[in-house]
Amino acid sequence: MSQSCRFVILISGRGSNMEAIVDALSGLQNAKVVAVMSNEPEAAGLAWAQEKGIATRTVCHRDYTSRESFDKALAKSIDGFNPDYVLLAGFMRILTPGFANQFEGRLINIHPSLLPAFPGLHTHRQALAFGVQWHGCTVHFVTHKLDHGPVIAQGIVPVHDGDTEAELARRVLAMEHQVYGQVACWLADGRVQQHVDGTVTVAGIHSRAFGPQLL
């Protein structure tokens, strides 16, 4: 991309993934986080973004009577910043198909599991209950289907015997930061390509798997 690649990041809470993305992109000349938005006025990540001099906006879902009207207001606010990409980073709202359509190919999410395993909430609890030995996170393009869509990258972590949900969440979160930060840089460099068959490639990158070097 010749001009700076513009990112809007959507959060609902702590915003540690947002921090990881902002930090990763700060090393690039060709990328700018133009706004951080939240559906929760009290989201802790908003204060962090403000301190960094990033514009923040709140569009509170409780101020709207339907998902459609909330999504329309959110989309309008996002459009005001003219982003190339919208990154969902712990954004805890289900978005309507209309919203997904509007931002198709530019809307990216991180999910704390190795999709297609464990979509939805409480992924670490689900992983422990199932007894899987590997767990992790997925960064993917957003489609109409919840926690589904072309995979850009995945990060794996081991599950240890006796792990608590909180311990596993911490291990996965550290991996989320690594994967999302790297994907943001690939996007900024214009290297991520989504193909008609639903697959993704990243120019010059041979593996989009993150994790312990086992093989």
Chain contacts with ligand GRF (rule: CB under 6 A): 11, 13-17, 89-90, 110, 112, 173, 176
Which lies closer to ligand GRF via its Cβ, residue 120 or residue 190?
Answer: 120
Examine the residue annotation and report whether 144 is marked as an active-site residue of this protein: no
Quote the least distance from Cβ 109 to ligand GRF, whole Å. 8
Give the span between the Cα atoms of 203 and 189, in whole angstroms.
10
Give the span between the Cα atoms of 71 and 17, in whole angstroms.
22
**Can you tell me whether residue 149 is helix, strand or coil?**
coil
Which of 61, 111, 195, 206 does the annotation list as catalytic? 111
Which residues, other chains included, contact 196 with Cβ-Cβ below 8 Å and sequence gap of 6+? none
Quote the least distance from Cβ 112 to ligand GRF, whole Å. 4
Quote the least distance from Cβ 80 to ligand GRF, whole Å. 23
Bridge partners of 210, per DSSP, are: 155
Quote the least distance from Cβ 199 to ligand GRF, whole Å. 23
Give the span between the Cα atoms of 201 and 205, in whole angstroms.
8
Which lies closer to ligand GRF via its Cβ, residue 166 or residue 215?
Answer: 166
Which lies closer to ligand GRF via its Cβ, residue 112 or residue 149?
Answer: 112
Residue with the shortest CB distance to ligand GRF = 90
Tell me the DSSP string of 62-120: GG-SSHHHHHHHHHHHHHTT--SEEEESS---PPPHHHHHHTTTTEEEEESS-TTSS-S
Which lies closer to ligand GRF via its Cβ, residue 4 or residue 100?
Answer: 100
List, by residue number, the catalytic residues.
111
